[in-house]
């Protein structure tokens, strides 16, 4: 029902608007996972949402997106290694 009543009409509408690429439903799944990772949702939550049997599957497929959080990791490590609280954390408190 979804495919015939929602998905195909949506694809036809984007074609009528001049877009030539035809996304797949799987593309929406990957976009959703990417947005969840960007939103810092824990990987076990994403794993459950996507239905991956193993967290390894989730990490193997989407782990490369975690690199974007390196700045936060560095800030957290610096904070734990110093006596002073970084300005960004102090302002948030």
Q: What is the pLDDT of residues 61-83, one digit of tens each?
A: 988 888 656 677 677 777 777 75
pLDDT at 84: 59
Q: Give the total number of structural domains in the chain.
A: 1
- Tell which wins on pLDDT, 57 or 67: 57
- Tell which wins on pLDDT, 56 or 67: 56
Query: Would the pTM of this model clear 0.85, i.e. be above it?
Result: no
Q: Report CA-CA distances (Å) from 52 to 31, 39, 45, 58, 93.
A: 16, 19, 10, 7, 36
Of 23-32, 50-59, 79-88, which gets the smallest average pLDDT? 79-88
Q: How far apart are the first and last CA of the chain?
A: 49
Q: Which domain holds residue 58?
A: 24-92
Residue 80 in domain: yes
pLDDT at 81: 72
Residue 10 in domain: no
**Cβ–Cβ under 8 Å, residues 64 and 51:** no
Residue 2 in domain: no
**Token pair for residue 68?**
């974007």
């Amino acid at each position: 029902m979804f495919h015939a009543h929602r998905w195909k009409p949506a694809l036809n509408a984007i074609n009528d608007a001049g877009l030539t690429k035809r996304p797949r439903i799987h593309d929406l799944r990957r976009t959703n996972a990417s947005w969840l990772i960007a939103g810092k949702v824990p990987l076990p939550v994403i794993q459950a949402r996507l239905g991956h049997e193993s967290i390894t599957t989730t990490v193997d497929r989407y782990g490369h997106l975690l690199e974007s959080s390196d700045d936060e990791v560095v800030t957290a490590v610096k904070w734990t290694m110093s006596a002073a609280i970084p300005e960004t954390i102090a302002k948030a408190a």
